[in-house]
Structure 1
Amino acid sequence: MSMHISPNKSISDLQNAFNAAYPHLKLQFFSKAHGENKGSFAKFMIHDRNTTLAMLNPELREGTVSIVPETKTWALEQAFETEFQLHVQVFRQSGSIWLETSVSDQLTLAEQEAKGARSLLSFDDPTIAEEPGDYRDQE
C-alpha cells in the first residue's frame, strides 16, 4: 500500500487508511519524536483526529510512504519522521487495549498484525496454543 501524504490530509485520513490494511494496528501521532525501542509520552499524543498534517508540520511537502507487510515497525516510524517530520508511533491491539510497540520495533507490520489478531482469540479453545506473554510491550 502507498499512503499519500499532503498538508490538507487529517490525522484520521492516515489512521483510517492504515487501519484498513492492518486492522489490529493503529498509527498515533505525537508532537515530539521518539527513539528506536523508546516509547512516546502520552502528554505529547495528538488527540484531535481532525488535526491536519500542515498543523503538525507547516513546511510539509507532499509525498508517499510505501507500506508493505515486511516493513519493520521502526522503519515505518522513521519514514514518517525523516521524510515528513511527522512523529508517529505504531500501536498494537492486545485484547481490549492498545499497546505501544516500542519494545517490538524490530517486528514487521505483518508480525505485529498477527500478534494483535491472536490477542483476540479465545484461549478457552483447546485447539489454540497460548503464546507466552510479552510483558515488555505493556508501557
Structure 2
Amino acid sequence: MYLEINGERLISDIQQDFGAVYPFLKIEFFRNGTIRRDRYPVNKLIPATQPVKTAWHYKKDKGQLTLSDGMTVTDFENALMDQFGLSAQVFRRSGNIWLETTITDNWTLKQQNEHGREITVGHNRIGNKDPSITDY
C-alpha cells in the first residue's frame, strides 16, 4: 500500500487512507520539530482539517510512502519524518479508547492492528456493543 503525501491533501485524507488498511490504528500529526520518540502534547496536535503542508517541518512537494504489514510502527513514524518532515504518532484502538503505541512501537503495523481488533472485538462480545465496530 502507498500513502500519497502532498501538501494540498488534508491530514484527514492521510488518516482515512491509513485507516482503510489498518482500521484499529490511527495516526495523528503534531507540531513537534524534529524531536522523535518523545510524547506529543495535545496542544501540538494538528487538526485533521488542515492541509499536510501545515505539518511539514521542512518543505517536501509530494511523494509516496510505501507501507507493508511487516513495517514496525517505529519504521513507519521514522519514514514520515525522514521522507516528509512529519511528526506522527500511531494509536491503537482498545475498546472505545485510543492508546499510544509507544511501548510497543517495535511491533509491526499488522501486529498492532490485530491486537487492537482482538481487544476491541473481545470488548464488544462482553456486551458493550459499539455499532461502529464490525465483528470479523
TM range (shorter): 0.7 to 0.9
Q: Which amino acid aligns with 2:50?
A: T
RMSD: 1.9
Distance 1:10 1:123, change over 3 A: closer
SS in 2 for 1:40: coil
- Aligned residues: percent identity? 29
SS in 2 for 1:121: helix
Q: Distance in 1 between matches of 2:94 and 2:111?
A: 13
Q: Which runs of 4+ in 1 moved over 6 A?
A: none
Distance 1:80 1:121, change over 3 A: same
Q: Distance in 1 between matches of 2:45 and 2:29?
A: 6
Distance 1:45 1:69, change over 3 A: same
Distance 1:124 1:77, change over 3 A: closer
Q: Which amino acid aligns with 2:45?
A: M
Q: Is the 8 A contact 1:91 1:98 kept in 2?
A: yes
Paired residue total:
124
1:34-113 matches, within 5 Å, as 34-36=35-37, 38-46=38-46, 48-57=47-56, 59-113=59-113
TM-score by length of 2: 0.83
Runs of 5+ unmatched residues, structure 1: 126-139
